[in-house]
Amino acid sequence: MSWYTLPAGVPWLTLALLLPLIGAFLVLLAPAAARGVIKQLGILSALLTLVLMLLLLGGFQHGPGGLRFQFEEIHHWIPSLGIGYHLGVDGLSLFLLALNGLLSLLAMLIADPRTPRFKEFVLLLLVLETATTGVLLALDLILFYVFWEAMLVPLYFLIGVWGEGRKVFAAFTFLIYTVIGSFAMLVAILAVAAITAAQTGHLSFDWTVLVQHPAGAVAQGWMFLGFALAFAVKMPIFPLHSWLPIAYPATPTPALLVFAGLVSKLGAYGLIRFNLALFPAGARGWGPILATLATIGILYGALMALLQVDLKLLVAYASMSHLGFIGLGIFSQNVFGVEGALIQMINHGVIIAGLFLVVFMIEQRTGTRARSQLRGLTRPAPLFAGLFFVIALAALGLPGLNGFVGEFLIMLGAFTAYLPLAIGAGLGVILAAWYVLRFYQGAFEEVPVQPAALTEMRLNEVGALAPLLAIIVVFGIVPSFFPAAVDATVRAVLRT
Amino acid sequence: MIDTSRLGIDYGVLLPELVVTATALLVLVLDLLIPPGRRRWLAAVSALGLLLALLATVPLWGADRSAFSGTVIGDSFAAFFDVILLSTGLLTVLISPRFLRSLGLEYGEYYVLTLAAMAGMMLLAAATSLMTIFLGIELLSIALYVLAGFARRNLRSQESALKYLLLGGFASGFLLYGMALIYGATGATTLHGIAQFVGASGSSVLLLVGIGFLVVGLAFKASAAPFHMWTPDVYQGAPTVVTTFMSVATKAAAFAVIGRVFVAAFPTIRADWYFPLAFVAIVSLGIGNFVAITQSNLKRLLAYSGIAQAGYILLGILPGSSEGLAASLFYVAAYAVMNFGAFAVVTAVETRVGEGGTEIPAWTGLFYRQPLLATTMTVFMLSLAGIPPTVGFFAKLFVFRPLVEAQLWAPLAVAIVTTVISFYYYLRVVVVMLTAPEEAGRPAREPVSRVMGAILVFCSIATIVLGVFPTVVFDWARTAAALHL
Amino acid sequence: MGVPAYEFLWLSGVLFTLGAIGVLIRRNPLVIFMCIELMLNAVNLAFAAISRYLNSLDGVAFAFLVITVSAAEVVVGIAIIVQVYRAGRAMDVDEMDLMKE
């Protein structure tokens, strides 16, 4: 079933890739001084992309279908090596795609036109959107890798040029970590294609072909490791996280929304799409180890979040802790865990973007990001404090808000797979409540440090938070919003 | 035993080389007739000659015409390299006049020597005998010795010419001695004869020592480590247009020989030459990428990057398959586009700023003074680093793939680790260009010359277009790599 | 027939080694250049000897080629060395370090 049927024969997915690029091209042509026009162009192209993605969301045929991809496009690219231009959407990528469009639009909305070199800034944000969209749509492994790597360049420059603090160092640290992971994945991609070619007689990098011809268990273990390295760095999974406290605080907030909200989720997406689907034997071998690491990440991230004074770092560690949950769900390798992880990916993207936005607004008002700045927010700015409270409650997984469903399913999955780890993760939930409430409690009590600075939310700021809040509330009340399509895909990936 | 069909005189096989040589002679004569103020026209004549030569390569595609007692061959392989070399030469000739004028070096001999070097390089691409290989190498080397010292009043240029001459002569000695030993071991000087002998009788100590010496000589010309010592000094000292030409064309020509000799003449004894070549590749990757980090002069940085790139190209030779060779050929083509572009930007900056323009600090904030130069340079740096969607990415991908298939993990691991390191220095250049300059007042924008601007845009668009649609060039490379002797 | 072919090869090997050592340890560019010529002549000797031993003319032809080309190289080489000398540089390659970093 679907809400409506999109006309066939239109390359919808290519269009989704091209829209931000066209916007980037128009921005390129605009004079650098016309900052307002540039911002409008950026918003317009991001908005159109989001509309297109919502159209896809509505036109998606929900229901049992297994590994059937929709809106598929297949063209030759480098036929002599079996590399194709293969795009498609399934339950794994559908909602992330919409999240991608939403966060990119938000990034455009809050981008400050007074930023130096604003033209290049918007340009890079749009290029980043094309790259992240491509990562979600690509079904050819080389095509996927191209987008995966292409994501690095805009992020690198956004941090290295527009960042704060030790920005070049931060950009390099992030780059070196991710590139090491990426190359491990590249070798694994070449290996899995070579092994499958030996079975089938012709070389292909197509996911739909590779998934039907699993390699031997030992080879799978190695290739699993190659892919996992790339994705675990991006998420990040403990102990590959040490770039995170360096890179996140240095990233300018508009880019950080996409970076923390979506790019980290792309790592989790890759784990399901490639590691679980292509290497089931490898996943059985490595799963317990990675699930353990993910659980350590939950606790480590939560404890570190408790220690932070800088709000941006606090949210960064909270994000790491949440991603630990997602990792645990994925490596539970049962329907509950993986579906929970998928749901949590969307919800966490929304929540973390909301938290970073709040931090951004505090910083804009007071000039610093110290936790003490939140003191006494309730009195001068009740609306601000109220909206913040809703996001904070969602972050700690309160039932009735969207953070709960995913976490609950993940815990359910973890209990069936690894009981001790589930207990550890439960401890993480308690810690989450602790650090979130500590984060927030100042808002109620005491007198503000800079009372004059804590002004009420402006309308455009409410506008930026509104879609996130809507999702937080609606998905919390109607968790069955993630329908059968996700379920079917997850079951197919897990081969259950 | 003697195959008479291979003895024929067939000038068509050498037509591109002949056209280039004739153009060189024509320019030499015209130089005497043209008044000194109009030497730009010599560039135009040279460019025309190179275009004609490009046309003359068309009949060689898909051909298999061995001629002159099997010393040269006209085939797709030769044509592939001819196209790369001629395009590089053409672009070099086009960007030269303005740069030479800014240094007061507008002499007609420049074009004659460039064309002579071109003829030598193209001969190398067509050579199927030790004699023609030697002739080609010397023809290109002697012309480049003079070109390196072309800035007569510049001590660095003189010093670089002398270093190139002495080390180049030294390397020629090794190359020749290697050839003598191979001749002694196999009794043949044509690659066809050598391949037949090796195929029938296998290797011998004499042959292996000969191959070792040959590797030394060729690695020197390709500026692969550990025979790279001359490269940074010569690249830095030589006039930048010469460096541009040399860094791209010489390397391409050297790899034409390496590809033909190792994959076509010695395929049966791959086990014997694998280790020396793998050693050269690994050391080049290591030294090139590590030492480039410490450089503060862009020409030296690009010199070390070129050493590393030689290592990547060699990786494709290692499996000894035509798949690998095709990857190497694609890499050479990619390298030609991106490295020419990078050096052309250096040339353009130097034309404006003077000799200090090759120091990295002089590039601070280039994005705001010269957006075109900085943007195109960014494309070339990303491509050299191998980041999609640029041609450099596919070059690396194609080279890595045969290594995975042949399970040559050690060179692959080194290549990957050093590539990660290379990101550091390639992207540092970009960050420097993006950093706002300290001084408040922006220097006035001097426009880049129209020819240079057009060439830079062309090269950067080619870098990206080939990075999105590599198929056409890759299929050419595959056709070219299906070698017959 | 007199001296066997491999004796010539030994001699050429010794000459080549002497030339190579000379290149590495001498400092005067002119002397280095002469050492390179010595290496090339060692090659010529090897070609001639092998040619005689194998009864093929290829080696002799190659030797002629080497002689011709090295003559051209000498012309260019001497010109460059003279130019450097006239530019006022000391004739010692160890002191050529304008570009060391």
Contact B305, B292 (CB under 8 A): yes
- ipTM for the predicted complex comes to 0.92
- Nearest residue in chain B measured CA to CA from C45: B180
Measured between beta carbons, which residues in chain C are less than 8 angstroms from residue B158?
80, 83-84, 87, 89
Among residues B234, B445, B434, the alpha carbon closest in space to that of B353 is found at B445
Q: Which of C50, C84, C89 shows the shortest C-beta gap to B180?
A: C50
Three-state DSSP string of chain B: CCCHHHHCCCHHHHHHHHHHHHHHHHHHHHHHHCCHHHCHHHHHHHHHHHHHHHHHCHHHCCCEEEECCCCEEEEHHHHHHHHHHHHHHHHHHHHHHHHHHHHCCCCCHHHHHHHHHHHHHHHHHHECEHHHHHHHHHHHHHHHHHHHCCCCCCHHHHHHHHHHHHHHHHHHHHHHHHHHHHHHHHCCCEHHHHHHHHHHHCCCHHHHHHHHHHHHHHHHHCCCCCCCCHHHHHHHHCCHHHHHHHHHHHHHHHHHHHHHHHHHHCHHHHHHHHHHHHHHHHHHHHHHHHHHHCCCEHHHHHHHHHHHHHHHHHHHHCCCCHHHHHHHHHHHHHHHHHHHHHHHHHHHHHHHHCHHHHEHHHHCCHHHHCHHHHHHHHHHHHHHHCCCCCHHHHHHHHHHHHHHHCCCHHHHHHHHHHHHHHHHHHHHHHHHHHCCCCCCCCCCCCCCCHHHHHHHHHHHHHHHHHHHCCHHHHHHHHHHHCCCC
Assess B205–C contact: CB distance below 8 Å, yes or no.
no
Q: What residue segments make up the domains of chain C, in order of their start? A: 5-88
pLDDT-derived band of residue C3, with 50, 70 and 90 as boundaries? Answer: low
Interface residue ranges in chain C relative to chain B, Cβ cutoff 8 Å? 9, 12, 16, 19-20, 23, 29, 32-33, 36, 39-40, 42-43, 46-47, 50, 53-54, 56, 58-59, 61-62, 65-66, 69, 72-73, 76-77, 79-81, 83-84, 87, 89, 93, 96, 98-99, 101
**What span, in angstroms and rounded, lies between the C-alpha atoms of A409 and A343?**
9
**Separation in Å, CA of A23 to nearest CA in chain B:** 18
Q: Given a cut of 80, is residue B437 above it in pLDDT?
A: no
**What span, in angstroms and rounded, lies between the C-alpha atoms of A31 and A33?**
5
- Do B and C make contact via 3 or more CB pairs under 8 A? The reply is yes
Measured from the Cβ of residue A398, the count of other Cβ atoms closer than 10 Å reads 16
pLDDT at site A1: 57
Higher pLDDT, C6 or A106: A106
Measured between beta carbons, which residues in chain B are less than 8 angstroms from residue A81?
398, 401, 474
Name residues whose C-beta falls within 8 Å of residue C22's C-beta, 6 or more positions apart in sequence: C31, C32, C34, C35, C38
Q: How far is CA A262 from each of CA A142, A169, A265, A360, rounded to the nearest angstrom?
A: 21, 23, 5, 18
pLDDT-derived band of residue C1, with 50, 70 and 90 as boundaries? Answer: very low
**What span, in angstroms and rounded, lies between the C-alpha atoms of C37 and C30?**
11
Q: Do C80 and B173 touch (CB under 8 A)?
A: no
pLDDT one-digit tens code per residue, C81-96: 888 888 766 566 666 6
Provide block-wise average pLDDT over 10 residues at a time, chain A (496 residues). Answer: 75 90 90 86 92 87 69 88 89 88 90 84 92 93 93 89 84 88 92 89 88 87 92 88 87 88 91 90 90 92 87 88 91 88 88 88 80 74 83 83 84 86 87 83 68 76 85 79 72 77
CB hemisphere CA count around A275 (13 angstroms)? 31
The residues with which A74 forms a beta bridge, in sequence order, are A86
**What span, in angstroms and rounded, lies between the C-alpha atoms of A450 and A431?**
30
Q: Do A191 and B404 touch (CB under 8 A)?
A: yes
Measured between beta carbons, which residues in chain B are less than 8 angstroms from residue C99?
156, 159-160, 232-233, 236-237, 300
Q: Do B434 and A157 touch (CB under 8 A)?
A: yes
**What span, in angstroms and rounded, lies between the C-alpha atoms of B468 and B379?**
13
pLDDT one-digit tens code per residue, B224-266: 888 888 999 999 989 999 999 999 999 999 999 999 888 878 8
Q: How far is CA A212 from each of CA A287, A479, B79, rounded to the nearest angstrom?
A: 21, 33, 42
A77 three-state secondary structure: strand
- Nearest residue in chain B measured CA to CA from A181: B420
Q: Given a cut of 90, is residue B122 above it in pLDDT?
A: yes
Structure tokens at B376: 């195109």
- Nearest residue in chain A measured CA to CA from B397: A186
Q: Which of C23, C67, C76, C93 to mutate to test the interface with B (most CBs of B within 10 A)?
A: C76
Number of domains chain B contains: 1
The residues with which B297 forms a beta bridge, in sequence order, are B359
Measured from the Cβ of residue A257, the count of other Cβ atoms closer than 10 Å reads 31
Q: Given a cut of 90, is residue B464 above it in pLDDT?
A: yes
- Nearest residue in chain B measured CA to CA from C43: B177
pTM above 0.90, yes or no: yes
Measured between beta carbons, which residues in chain B are less than 8 angstroms from residue C84?
158-159, 161-162
pLDDT-derived band of residue B378, with 50, 70 and 90 as boundaries? Answer: very high
**What span, in angstroms and rounded, lies between the C-alpha atoms of A272 and A280?**
11
CATH class of C5-88: mainly alpha
**What span, in angstroms and rounded, lies between the C-alpha atoms of B273 and B276?**
6
pLDDT one-digit tens code per residue, B220-231: 988 988 888 899
Q: Which of B141, B158, B205, B207 to mutate to test the interface with C (most CBs of C within 10 A)?
A: B158
Among residues B224, B340, B342, B219, the alpha carbon closest in space to that of B285 is found at B224
Mean pLDDT of C46-56: 89
- Nearest residue in chain C measured CA to CA from B172: C40
Measured from the Cβ of residue B61, the count of other Cβ atoms closer than 10 Å reads 16
Please report, as a single letter, which amino acid is at residue C18.
L
Q: Which of B393, B404, B419 shows the shortest C-beta gap to A194?
A: B404
pLDDT at site B52: 95
pLDDT at site B70: 83
Mean pLDDT of B353-365: 83
Q: Which of C39, C83, C98 shows the shortest C-beta gap to B156?
A: C98
Query: Prior bond to B402 cis, omega within 30?
Result: no
pLDDT-derived band of residue B415, with 50, 70 and 90 as boundaries? Answer: very high
pLDDT at site A66: 55
- Nearest residue in chain A measured CA to CA from B392: A146
For chain B, what is the mean pLDDT?
A: 89
Name the neighbours of B, counting chains with at least 3 Cβ pairs within 8 A: A, C
Q: Which of B162, B172, B188 shows the shortest C-beta gap to C29?
A: B162
| Cβ-based contacts under 8 A for chains A and B | 71
Q: Given a cut of 80, is residue B485 above it in pLDDT?
A: no
Name residues whose C-beta falls within 8 Å of residue B465's C-beta, 6 or more positions apart in sequence: none
pLDDT at site A70: 84
Burial per residue of A95-133, b for 16 or more beta-carbon CB atoms within 10 angstroms, e otherwise: bbbbbbbbbbbbbbbbbebebebbbbbbbbbbbbbbbbb
Q: What residue segments make up the domains of chain A, in order of their start? A: 12-494
Among residues B227, B211, B118, the alpha carbon closest in space to that of B167 is found at B227
Location of structure tokens 């050693």 = B279
Name the neighbours of A, counting chains with at least 3 Cβ pairs within 8 A: B
pLDDT-derived band of residue B443, with 50, 70 and 90 as boundaries? Answer: low
- Residue A289: exposed, middle, or buried by beta-carbon count in 10 A (0-12, 13-18, 19+)? exposed
pLDDT one-digit tens code per residue, A180-204: 899 999 999 999 999 998 888 888 8
pLDDT at site B439: 53
Phi-psi region of B433 (alpha: psi -120 to 50; beta: other; left: phi over 0): alpha
Q: Given a cut of 50, is residue B441 above it in pLDDT?
A: no
Q: Given a cut of 70, is residue B7 above it in pLDDT?
A: no
